[in-house]
């Protein structure tokens, strides 16, 4: 496996120690399950195995290495035993109903400041504090003590049941993924059951809600939503949202099931169901300050079909300087292709590039002045399609370069591509735009064919292959791709020409946030012909944008949320005093009401007299909009509106771009 990986010359002299550190971060980032002496003992074992004087290191650093599986399995065994011990202790403490919520106690939530406890007694103090916080948080979600206690007791019992159901395959999967992720975050091992689920997800034939889940601190957590799937179409579910309860809407006697502490496969089975039926999720918003905050989303299950992922379009007219500008918006959630039909030489196969070409020809017939391609949230798809789509705007030429693990480099492009659209183009991206999205946006930027706006993209510049094993499958990174300028996309992503406001720190996710992400590098550029773009165009567009930011209540609203996020993201402790926490919650609600009323007053809209009135209004609006497709929402998408304004400026400032291709 090591020799097949792109980064096959990595220094392995400290592999065991580094893998152990990664395993600790994965299993016990809060430092609540092991004592200082236990950690020192295990570190010594793993470092001894990495000793360059030992027989294991007689090989060169790029050759074979020895992995200390014995110590790893011993650590995993201790971890699960300690997890059972801690949970039983917490269950006992919760059942006493003896927490004093008037005491001025705190718990440290800044993991970087935490230290390993010296004794088991100190560990138990930490376990009790966390249990107290769980009950308190449940009470803040409008529950009395008895109901909150019952909820947390069930949650801990579910955790114990989940641990008891772990088998050798689960332990082996943890160990193997600890090894594969040492080389990069996208290399992974799939057990036979995981491989089956992965294939089902990739085929999109599963009747469910179209969301990928993982487990994070006992909470089933949304990793991503499938473009065009039921969850994505609600417009209410986001990555990092945590699932607390699941209800089967059609069952009249179905009480919500608390799934915190459940095995992830059990959660998935509860969410899956017959197409047409509904499931209701109780979620903790991903970017919330307090886990007592909730949102409720009802989703109609259905099979995710290719048609649901298809590019959608809309024409919007904007009045500028006594003239009407026609803007064409294309929302592209993924780079899709019907591989089976394509392989069978069916000329009517469905693909993103063919659908976009059809839309562009309609735009031409309707005399559209400029096009906006929305790639926000587009995590990629077919690289072949990224090539084809680029050709619709720049004609023939290279699109990217691919470097194999053996060092060979080859350019990708479409020699037969024909430029369909010759007027201005603007591409919107965000931190969730990845892979094929970055290839397309990077090519448009490198050719100077259009303007890129939004936030820095994800930075995934690698390609993986899937190999079958005697038991399960393994996914390995085998190559990296680069821009035609030679610059890598890995880790750095695509930097937009104009950065739009965001409500949170985008550096918290993305390729650069992974400890084992492959490094950025660059290779030689390839020859390509740029379009001519006036040197001052981008700065002129940026100036107009910044003026609007200062004057726009909606964009100022986004900036206000970001300011709040910045003041809260480095919070180090939380109080275990119920009165203090209620005051904090009231302050958050008061702030949310004030910032929304500030926006509405600036727009001459009726303001809300209370937080509850605002919440009721939003809930009612969401109910009204349940049957509305959330894509291309020009009424409520403030960044899309600003994108249209920037594109309007672009159309006015640079109307002759389609005549200016350089020799």
Reported as a single tens digit per residue, the pLDDT across 414-471 is: 888 899 999 999 999 999 999 999 999 999 999 999 999 999 999 999 988 888 888 8
CB of 237 within 8 A of CB of 220?
Answer: no
Give a yes or no: residue 559 inside a domain: no
Question: What is the number of alpha carbons within 13 Å of residue 568 lying toward its C-beta?
Answer: 17
342, 449: one domain: yes
Tell me what the mean pLDDT of segment 168-185 comes to.
89
Number of domains the chain contains: 3
Helices (H), 28-144: 36-49, 69-96, 120-140
Give a yes or no: residue 188 inside a domain: no
Task: Please report the pLDDT score of residue 452 as a whole number.
Answer: 98
Highest mean pLDDT among 332-341, 520-529, 625-634: 520-529
Would you place residue 39 in the very low, low, confident or very high pLDDT band (cuts 50, 70, 90)? very high
User: d(Cα 449, Cα 35) in Å, to the nearest integer?
Assistant: 58
Give a yes or no: residue 420 inside a domain: yes
Give a yes or no: residue 383 inside a domain: yes
Quote the domain boundaries for residue 295. Answer: 205-303
Give a yes or no: residue 618 inside a domain: no
170, 237: one domain: no
Task: Please report the pLDDT score of residue 585 as a whole number.
Answer: 92
Would you place residue 63 in the very low, low, confident or very high pLDDT band (cuts 50, 70, 90)? very low
372, 288: one domain: no
Given the residues 446, 560, 637, 649, select the one marked as catalytic: 446
Of 128, 148, 182, the domain-final residue? 182
CATH number at residue 280: 2.30.42.10
Would you place residue 9 in the very low, low, confident or very high pLDDT band (cuts 50, 70, 90)? low
User: d(Cα 270, Cα 208) in Å, to the nearest integer?
Assistant: 10
User: d(Cα 303, Cα 226) in Å, to the nearest integer?
Assistant: 11
Reported as a single tens digit per residue, the pLDDT across 139-154 is: 998 789 999 999 999 9
pTM (whole model) above 0.85: yes
196 pLDDT above the threshold of 90: no
- CA-nearest of 36, 34, 30 to 107 is 30
Active site residue 365: no
Question: What is the number of alpha carbons within 13 Å of residue 538 lying toward its C-beta?
Answer: 15
User: d(Cα 457, Cα 538) in Å, to the nearest integer?
Assistant: 19
Please, what's the largest Cα pairwise distance for the chain? 81
Given the residues 242, 460, 480, 492, select the one marked as catalytic: 460
Task: Please report the pLDDT score of residue 658 as a whole number.
Answer: 39
Higher-scoring residue by pLDDT: 598, 48:
598
User: d(Cα 612, Cα 307) in Å, to the nearest integer?
Assistant: 39
339, 298: one domain: no
H-helix or E-strand containing 299? strand 295-300
Active site residue 502: no
Active site residue 435: yes
Task: Please report the pLDDT score of residue 663 as a whole number.
Answer: 27
- The distance of Cα 9 from the centroid of its chain, to the nearest Å, equals 30
Would you place residue 287 in the very low, low, confident or very high pLDDT band (cuts 50, 70, 90)? confident
Give a yes or no: residue 234 inside a domain: yes
* Residue 642 DSSP SS3: helix
Reported as a single tens digit per residue, the pLDDT across 18-38 is: 999 999 999 999 999 999 999
362, 440: one domain: yes
367, 516: one domain: yes
Given the residues 435, 437, 491, 575, select the one marked as catalytic: 435
User: d(Cα 315, Cα 363) in Å, to the nearest integer?
Assistant: 8
Express as a percent the part of the chain with pLDDT over 70.
Answer: 90
Higher-scoring residue by pLDDT: 167, 537:
537
| Lowest mean pLDDT, pick from 280-294, 489-503, 528-542 | 280-294
- The distance of Cα 604 from the centroid of its chain, to the nearest Å, equals 36
Tell me what the mean pLDDT of segment 528-553 comes to.
94
151, 272: one domain: no
Give a yes or no: residue 583 inside a domain: no
Which residue pairs, CB below 8 angstroms and at least 24 apart, start in 230-233? 230/299, 230/300, 230/301, 230/302, 230/304, 231/299, 232/333, 232/630, 233/308, 233/629, 233/630, 233/631
211, 84: one domain: no
User: d(Cα 46, Cα 33) in Å, to the nearest integer?
Assistant: 19
Task: Please report the pLDDT score of residue 558 as a whole number.
Answer: 96
H-helix or E-strand containing 388? helix 383-394
Task: Please report the pLDDT score of residue 363 as a whole number.
Answer: 97
Task: Please report the pLDDT score of residue 202 as a whole number.
Answer: 46
CB of 651 within 8 A of CB of 643?
Answer: no
Tell me what the mean pLDDT of segment 628-633 comes to.
68
Task: Please report the pLDDT score of residue 286 as a whole number.
Answer: 83
| Lowest mean pLDDT, pick from 20-34, 170-184, 199-213, 514-528 | 199-213
131, 241: one domain: no
Give a yes or no: residue 371 inside a domain: yes
Q: Which two tokens stand for residue 155?
A: 């949650």
* Residue 466 DSSP SS3: strand
Render the burial of 543-556: b for 16+ CB within 10 Å, e for the rest: ebbeebbeebbbbb
Q: For all residues of the chain together, what is the average pLDDT?
A: 87
Task: Please report the pLDDT score of residue 235 as a whole number.
Answer: 81
Residue with tokens 């690289």: 383
User: d(Cα 425, Cα 657) in Å, to the nearest integer?
Assistant: 10
Reported as a single tens digit per residue, the pLDDT across 198-243 is: 555 444 444 578 888 888 878 889 888 877 788 888 888 888 899 9
242-248/257-258 β-pairing:
antiparallel
């Amino acid at each position: 496996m090591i020799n097949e990986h792109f980064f096959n010359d990595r220094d392995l002299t400290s592999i065991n120690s580094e893998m152990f550190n990664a395993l600790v971060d994965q299993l016990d980032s809060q430092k609540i399950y092991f004592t200082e002496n236990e950690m020192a003992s295990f570190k010594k074992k793993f470092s001894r195995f990495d000793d360059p004087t030992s027989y294991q290191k007689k090989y060169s650093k790029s050759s074979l290495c020895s992995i200390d599986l014995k110590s790893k399995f011993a650590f995993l065994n201790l971890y699960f035993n300690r997890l059972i011990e801690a949970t039983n202790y917490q269950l006992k403490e919760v059942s006493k109903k003896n927490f004093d919520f008037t005491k001025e106690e705190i718990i440290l939530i800044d993991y970087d400041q935490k230290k390993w406890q010296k004794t088991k007694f100190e560990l138990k103090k930490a376990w009790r504090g966390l249990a107290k916080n769980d009950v308190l948080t449940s009470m803040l979600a409008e529950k009395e003590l008895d109901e909150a206690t019952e909820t947390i007791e069930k949650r801990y019992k579910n955790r114990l049941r989940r641990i008891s159901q772990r088998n050798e395959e689960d332990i082996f999967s943890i160990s193997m993924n600890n090894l594969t992720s040492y080389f990069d975050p996208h290399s992974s091992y799939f057990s036979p059951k995981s491989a089956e689920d992965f294939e089902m997800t990739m085929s999109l034939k599963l009747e469910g809600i179209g969301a990928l889940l993982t487990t994070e601190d006992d909470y089933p957590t949304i990793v991503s939503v499938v473009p065009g799937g039921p969850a994505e179409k609600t417009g209410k579910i986001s990555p990092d949202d945590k699932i607390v309860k699941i209800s089967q809407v059609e069952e009249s006697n179905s009480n919500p099931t608390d799934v915190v502490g459940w095995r992830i496969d059990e959660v998935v089975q509860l969410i899956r169901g017959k197409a047409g039926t509904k499931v209701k999720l109780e979620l903790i918003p991903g970017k919330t300050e307090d886990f007592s905050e909730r949102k409720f989303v009802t989703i109609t299950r259905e099979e995710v079909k290719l048609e649901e992922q298809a590019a959608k379009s809309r024409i919007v007219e904007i009045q500028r300087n006594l003239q009407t500008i026609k803007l064409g918006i294309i929302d592209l959630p993924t780079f899709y292709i019907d591989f089976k039909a394509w392989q069978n030489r069916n000329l009517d196969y469905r693909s993103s590039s063919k659908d976009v070409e059809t839309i562009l020809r309609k735009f031409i017939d309707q005399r559209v002045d400029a096009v906006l391609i929305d790639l926000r949230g587009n995590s990629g798809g077919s690289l072949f399609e990224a090539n084809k789509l680029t050709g619709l705007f720049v004609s023939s030429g290279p699109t990217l370069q691919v470097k194999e693990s053996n060092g060979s480099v080859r350019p990708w492009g479409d020699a037969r591509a024909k430029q369909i659209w010759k007027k201005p183009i603007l591409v919107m991206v965000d931190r969730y735009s990845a892979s094929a999205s970055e290839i397309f946006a990077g090519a448009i930027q490198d050719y100077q064919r259009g303007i890129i706006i939004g936030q820095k993209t994800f930075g995934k510049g690698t390609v993986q292959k899937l190999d079958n094993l005697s038991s399960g499958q393994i996914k390995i990174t085998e190559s990296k791709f680069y821009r035609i300028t030679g610059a890598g996309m890995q880790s750095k992503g695509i930097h937009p020409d104009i950065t739009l406001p965001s409500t949170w720190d985008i550096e918290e996710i993305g390729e650069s946030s992974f400890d084992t992400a492959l490094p950025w590098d660059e290779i030689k550029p390839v020859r390509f012909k740029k379009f001519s773009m006036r040197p001052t165009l981008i700065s002129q567009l940026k100036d107009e944008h910044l003026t609007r930011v200062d004057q726009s209540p909606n964009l100022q609203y986004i900036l206000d949320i970001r300011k709040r996020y910045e003041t809260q993201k480095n919070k180090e402790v939380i109080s275990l005093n119920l009165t203090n926490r209620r005051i904090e919650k009231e302050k958050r609600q008061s702030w949310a009401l004030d910032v929304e009323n500030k926006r509405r007053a600036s727009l001459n809209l009726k303001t809300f007299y209370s937080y509850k009135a605002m919440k009721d209004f939003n809930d009612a609006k969401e109910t009204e909009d349940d049957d509305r497709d959330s894509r291309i929402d020009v009424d409520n998408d403030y960044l899309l509106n600003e994108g249209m304004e920037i594109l309007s400026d672009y159309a006015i400032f640079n109307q002759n771009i389609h005549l200016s291709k350089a020799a």
